[in-house]
Every structure is written in C-alpha cells, then in structure tokens.
Amino acid sequence: MNWILLIEQCLNGIQLGLLLFLLAAGLTLVFGIMDLVNLAHGSLYMVGAYFAATFTAWTGSFVLAIVLTLPATLIVGAVVEIVCLRSLYNRDHLDQVLATFGLILFFNELVRLIWGPAGLNVPLPEFLSSSLELLPGLVYPSYRLAIILASLTAAFFLYWLVARTRIGMLIRAGASNREMVGALGVNIRFLFTIVFGLGAALAGLAGLMAAPISTVEIGMGENVLILAFVVIVIGGIGSIRGAFVAAILIGLIDTVGRAFLPDVIGTFFDDEFADAAAPALASMSIYLLMAVILAFRPEGLFSARGG
C-alpha cells in the first residue's frame, strides 16, 4: 500500500468531514433546540456558494467575499425562519418535512431565476493556489489545508459559543427545556431566530469553502444534505460532539473507501469483479456503517440532547 497516498486521502477525508460537520452542526442545533427537521438546510449551503461566487466576481477578492457571504447567509436564514418556519415548531415532523421540501423547490427555482441554470466556477484565491510539501514526497494543495484550518476554527468558535458564553448557556437551556427558559423571561423567539441564523451561516461557510473546489450548481446542497443527515443520525440528534465525531468518521470512510476499496477487493477477487463491485460498495459503505451503528445503538453514538 502506498503510504503517501493513504495520508493524502486521509487529509481529504478529514477535510470532507469538517465541511460535513459545519452543515451537521447547524442541523443538529436546530433540531435539538427547536425540534425542527429542516430539509432546506442544503439550500442554505447552496445559497452560500452562490453568494461566494457573486461576491468574488464583484470584489475580485475571495477574502472580502467571505466577509460578505457570512452575514448574507445569516440574514437569509433569519428571514426564512421568521417568514416560514416559525409557525412550524409546534407541528409534527411530517408537516416540517413537507414545508421545508417546498422551501427546497422554491430556493432551487429562485437561484435558477437569479443566477441562471448553468453552473458557476469560483477561482481559487491566488495566495492559496499553490501546494505545500507537508512530508517528503507528500504535496498537498494549500487551499484544502486552509479549509481544514478554517473549519477547525469554526468548530472551536462554536464550542466556545455554546459552552462558554451567555447565549450558549441559553441555547443549552433551550435544548433541555424550552418552556422553562421561556417562562424565566428569555425572549425565546429571538433566541430561535439567532440559532437558526447561526446554523445558516455555518452552512453558508461550508458552501463558500466548497465553492472553489467543486462546481457551484443548483441542487448541490441536496446530496451533501443527505450525508449531513447520516452524520447527525450516527452522532445522535442534538449532540454537537456526536456530530463532530460522526462527521470525521463519515468523511474518512467515504474518501478512503473510494480510493482503496478497488485494491482491497482486487486482492481477494479477480479484477473484473473488483472493477464492477468496488464503486457500488464504496458509495454504500457509509450507509452500511449507519445501519450497523443503528442496529446496536438506535439513538446514535452520543444520544444525549444538547451537549
């Protein structure tokens, strides 16, 4: 086995996992605190990527685009919460699934109306377009390293916000008993809007960071959304710690599996079978992992709500 390639794929896996974590953290926060299933979370990821594309084209600077995109997605999220989702908190999950499904259709068409049906490409920022030699022989694109660092920073910020600040205390209290928090005089509606906006900004951050290394297109959020669902189901809904562990796990298994499963199967079976079966098996691996984990722990790895 090629060790350099393995390390490189592991880094790719961690990078995918961290992006997934940014999405899953928002989803799991919204679910844990507001008890809301939000299918439209992937749309916020898409909107983030489109904002990044537009702002990069306007300002010519990716850094400025980041500065503009984050508040923009936060505002979009807050507006969506106030206009549409607020009346869904006390409904059953089926209603929420349907209404947010309607939101996906709406957002996809709105994006098509504004930006057109063709995909957009965001150029890599110049100062990150080179590669670094991490180990002798291991050359890794610096943009992907920057994604890893930025996501880790966001994850630490989230941890600090939830565990160390007053607003985080309210978020945790809201997760364990929202009626009581409301009764104690906290403006729970405002808190919910903030949490939703925060989740939207995290999704937007994931979208904008993914924009230069993938095509910005309609429906880009939907496949990532399913992966984020797998992450929060494995991690335990409502648990940010669980989401982090599960996201890294999923990112690693998906990436490393795709890279090495053909070789692994090829050593046991003939090549023709390996070529046919490996891609199918690799794309199924994370779902199989989810099935196994749920068979033993139906509530996920870290099932405690809040956390």
**What are the C-alpha distances in Å from 219 to residues 7, 232, 263?**
31, 21, 32
Choosing from 136, 137, 185, 298, the residue that interacts with other proteins (CB under 8 A) is 298
Q: How far is the CB of 95 from other proteins (least distance, A)?
A: 5
Does the protein bind other proteins through residue 264 (CB under 8 A)?
no
Count the site residues for other proteins by CB under 8 A: 47
Contact residue for other proteins among 29, 191, 233, 247 (CB under 8 A): 233
| Binding segment (CB under 8 A) for other proteins, from list 13-21, 170-178, 193-201, 294-302 | 294-302
Q: Would you count residue 279 as binding other proteins (CB under 8 A)?
A: yes
Query: Closest Cα to residue 307, out of 249, 241, 243?
Result: 241
What does the DSSP 8-state code read for residue 117? S
Give, as ranges, the residues between 42 and 81 that touch other proteins (CB under 8 A): none
**Site of tokens 């298994």:** 253
* Between 148 and 246, CB nearer to other proteins: 246
Token pair of 66, please? 């980041």
When asked if residue 294 is in the footprint of other proteins (CB under 8 A), the reply is yes
On whether the CB atoms of residues 87 and 244 are closer than 8 A, the answer is: no
d(CA 111, CA 241): 33
- Output the smallest distance, CB 160 to other proteins, in A: 28
Give the span between the Cα atoms of 105 and 28, in whole angstroms: 22
Taking the C-alpha atoms of residue 274 and residue 262, their distance in angstroms, rounded to an integer, is 6
- State the Cα–Cα distance between residues 45 and 202, nearest whole angstrom: 8
Our finding on whether 109 is near other proteins (CB under 8 A) is: yes
- The yes or no reply on residue 118 touching other proteins (CB under 8 A) is no
Residue with tokens 């196994």: 292
Q: What is the DSSP letter of 123?
A: P
Q: Which of 87, 121, 130, 165 binds other proteins (CB under 8 A)?
A: 87
Chain residues binding other proteins by CB under 8 A are 31, 37, 39, 84, 87, 91, 93-95, 97-99, 101-110, 112-113, 222, 226, 229-230, 232-233, 237, 276, 279-284, 287-288, 290-291, 294-295, 298-300
